[in-house]
Every structure is written in structure tokens, then in C-alpha cells.
Amino acid sequence: MNNETPSNIESPCIRQCCLDENDVCVGCFRTLDEILKWNSLSDNEKQVIMNTCNERKQQKKESR
């Protein structure tokens, strides 16, 4: 899945890279696997991850 065209979806990284006990970044809410694969994913796959990250972030807020 190597994209020849630049991605329209930028990385959600906010440079607060630290993984929690579930290997989810506390800054961008991506899993370690999602972070490692990011550059090789299609825009559709990236959008799915972005949606999942938003859900994780919301769950984190609600659990406080």
C-alpha cells in the first residue's frame, strides 16, 4: 500500500509521545501499531484511525 501521491491527512502527532499500559499514545491516541504503519496507509485507512483516536480521546475524558 505505498502511496505515490501525498496524503491529504496529516499525522495527529502532537509530540507528546508516551505510551500508556495499552500501548496507546497519550498525546495522539494512536496505538503503537497505528503509529508505525501511518506512512504506508491510504487516506481512507488514516481516516478510520483518526475516527478511532477521537473515540479513544472521548472515552479517556469520560473516564476522568
pLDDT of residue 22: 93
More confident residue, 48 or 2: 48
The residue ranking higher by pLDDT, 60 or 4, is: 60
Percent of the chain whose pLDDT exceeds 90: 83
Specify whether the CB–CB gap between 56 and 48 falls below 8 A: no
Looking at residue 57, what is its pLDDT?
A: 95
C-alpha cell of residue 55:
473515540
Rounded to two decimals, the pTM is 0.84
- Is 31 or 60 the better-scoring residue by pLDDT? 31
Instruction: Count other Cβ atoms within 10 Å, centred on residue 32.
Output: 12
**Given pLDDT bands bounded at 50, 70 and 90, which one contains residue 63?**
confident
